[in-house]
Structure 1
């Protein structure tokens, strides 16, 4: 331990441990590992750098001892001053936050599968004998290739019928986005599709059908069934 004097009062400062660390745990620098359990468990025999108390237990007891957390089967450290305790808490919080961010980034990378690198657009251009006119200049071949692969993955991953690609509504949606770039646009969510937008479309269809229903009263109608 290191000691400094502030206005005549001695304040204990944390020091780096000597010996085995508690793996990559943030507060491991404030205890000294004396012995590691031979059975491969997480228990250690360690001593506190502040009060020299010897404890047998896992890192959770190190954390409870240093951060003065009750109910963890270990006595709190009485030698850690009120000035040092917030520093230890901040050190622990920052380390755990950083570790969580690293784990989150790892999960995101694991969840995302990169797109195929091969492009068929350049080959199509050669087959059609394109000389690089205004159409090629107005579209980014690279971005178009990415957009095609993202659309294809949407079909494959969601089990969508390939017939959707021939739907005039799908084409109209795509053409509208191409002609009207909307910064920050996010497609409608699951809940909006099945509630608000569905209700609006139902109302619109009923309005379109109303003139036909009005004729039923004057001309009648036939109901056919295939059995």
Structure 2
């Protein structure tokens, strides 16, 4: 992490400051603000003060990034006192951090699948022979077992709460995918979930609430 000095980018001080050791798992842009108070018990929402313009705001790292890098069109007030050299330095830090995250990203590991337990390989012919009876084969038990394992690994590796399985949309998702053939389908990515689809769902809720608002 860089050591900042001067009135423009002075390092955060006080109880809300961030040391280099604390910042190992955070982007360097946190060094340009002073954390004042955490909002809620979970998540990364803070009341923070910009060390450059001195204004106090609330939000996550994304809002801090938008404020400091003067990204327009995000409904976030930009910092009007950031100099060109400071902005270039912050852009460099963000790029370095993104590259570091990519290098340290979780890699998919091929783990043994219990669904292969019923498959044997003939060493002489190298052909797969199924030891399963015709009835389990007719219901494709191997595929179901593997799907169960993929779902559970998604929960374990992503830290998802187990009570998510009680959400009706959780069941509807897999029921829909199991009953519809959609070749080449790719699930929504990170950016679409937090932008396009979030706004779309917000509009849906607004339409449902409109009759209530009218009355």
TM-score class, shorter-chain normalisation, is 0.3 to 0.5
- TM-score normalized with structure 1 length: 0.38
Structure number with bigger Rg: 1
- TM-score normalized with structure 2 length: 0.40
